[in-house]
Structure 1
Amino acid sequence: MPDAAALARLTARLDKPVVMVGLMGVGKSTVGKRLSQCLNTPFVDADDEVVKAAQMSIPEIFDRFGEDYFRDGERRVIARLIEENAGRPAVIATGGGAFADDETRALILDRAIAVWLYADLDTLVARVGRKNTRPLLTGRNPREVLGELMERRGPAYAQAPIRVISDAGPQSNGVARIIAALEDYLA
């Protein structure tokens, strides 16, 4: 991990938000928070902002209105978050399906720096088993669902200019990888 002065120089070169993308359970929120702390920038979780805007949980949104409605609201929230952080560094964590949506992906690629955080299937299955709040997994086999999502969403995620593995090691490893990738990207 770079020292404080190097991190400050990196942050000074960031002129748009860093947006974490990838499958559920990969660590976008957790690693994103730690990244924002290292860079001394604001952090915001798009899912939390969707919940605030809708005044209901994500599972409730899915149950009452369906995934398409959720994705539309998610896109509007992400656009607002990017706009609020335009021209300055910030870290935004998105939901797993956000970057798979063509319009949302185009918005992020145009106005932010997308970081694809990815992990192997075993790691994802172990992580998502810790929460029962994921609508796409309700009543289904997590390994099958995640395998399908990996295959279907992989080409979209691959469009992110920065790709970083999130392995079973400490979160600080993932943060260090993202910082090194951002330094290369901005060089």
Structure 2
Amino acid sequence: MKPIFFIGFMGVGKTTIGKRLGGVLDLPVIDMDQYIERIEKKAIKDIFLQHGESYFRDLETKVLFELQSEEAIITTGGGVVEKKANRDFLKQNDSVFHLTCTFDALWERLEGDENRPLVLNNSKDKLLGLFERRFPLYEEGSSVTIHTDHKSVDNVVQAIVPYIKS
């Protein structure tokens, strides 16, 4: 079995949905950001501060390719689609789920989150611009889009399971 990937903007629920689906399917869950933090021995926000976004994006690519043989659910960071190589890699996989919701719902979840460098360093309008710019990139790299607006975690998981079983 190939890994199941979750992609989407920060705050859409990739980690939460991934953990619940992992429980349902009895699969391990690998959060790429946490994986990178373990390798680098520092928080994502510190990697951004000390080395910059480009360095971090290169780490993401390396880790994405490292994890391709894992029988696991892999939750990616929101910017994994910034690199074309990553989108091309993801598109080759059958189980890449783009989780999405409205920007207003996202903003409610993200506002004031001090652990997300892009939230700390940008206004609401700039984040909206980033959200709108990345949306087609998520679509390009995914096989299925799932809307999480006004849905419980279990409802989202129930929407995903048939794609995995088939």
Match status 1:136 vs 2:118: yes
TM, length-normalised to structure 1: 0.82
RMSD: 1.6
- CA contact 2:5–2:95 (8 Å) conserved in 1: yes
Match status 1:35 vs 2:21: yes
Match status 1:19 vs 2:33: no
AA in 1 matched with 2:126: V
Q: 1:114-129 to 2 correspondence within 5 Å?
A: 114-129=96-111
- CA contact 1:82–1:112 (8 Å) conserved in 2: no
Q: 1:63-142 to 2 correspondence within 5 Å?
A: 63-83=49-69, 85=70, 88=71, 90-111=72-93, 113-129=95-111, 131-141=113-123
Runs of 4+ residues deviating >6 angstroms: none
What SS class does the counterpart of residue 92 from structure 2 fall into?
helix
- C-alpha displacement of 1:105: 1.6
Higher gyration radius (CA): 1
- C-alpha displacement of 1:157: 0.8
Q: Distance in 1 between matches of 2:139 and 2:98?
A: 7
Q: Which moved more, 1:44-53 or 1:94-103?
A: 94-103
* Residue 164 of structure 2: aligned partner: 182
- CA contact 1:162–1:182 (8 Å) conserved in 2: no
CA deviation string 1:91-111 (max 9, x = no partner): 100000002321112222224
Match status 1:170 vs 2:134: no
CA deviation string 1:127-150 (max 9, x = no partner): 112631111121432x32331122
AA in 1 matched with 2:27: T
- CA contact 2:18–2:29 (8 Å) conserved in 1: yes
Q: Distance in 2 between matches of 1:129 and 1:122?
A: 10
Unpaired segments ≥5 residues, structure 1: 1-14
- CA contact 1:20–1:114 (8 Å) conserved in 2: yes
- CA contact 2:113–2:119 (8 Å) conserved in 1: no
Q: Matched residue pairs, number?
A: 165
What SS class does the counterpart of residue 158 from structure 1 fall into?
helix
Unpaired segments ≥5 residues, structure 2: none
Q: Distance in 1 between matches of 2:139 and 2:93?
A: 17
Q: Which moved more, 1:161-170 or 1:28-37?
A: 161-170
Q: Given the alignment, which residue of 141, 146, 150 partners 2:131?
A: 150
Q: Distance in 2 between matches of 1:161 and 1:50?
A: 25
| Identity percentage of aligned residues | 33
TM, length-normalised to structure 2: 0.92
- CA contact 1:36–1:91 (8 Å) conserved in 2: yes
- CA contact 1:21–1:157 (8 Å) conserved in 2: yes
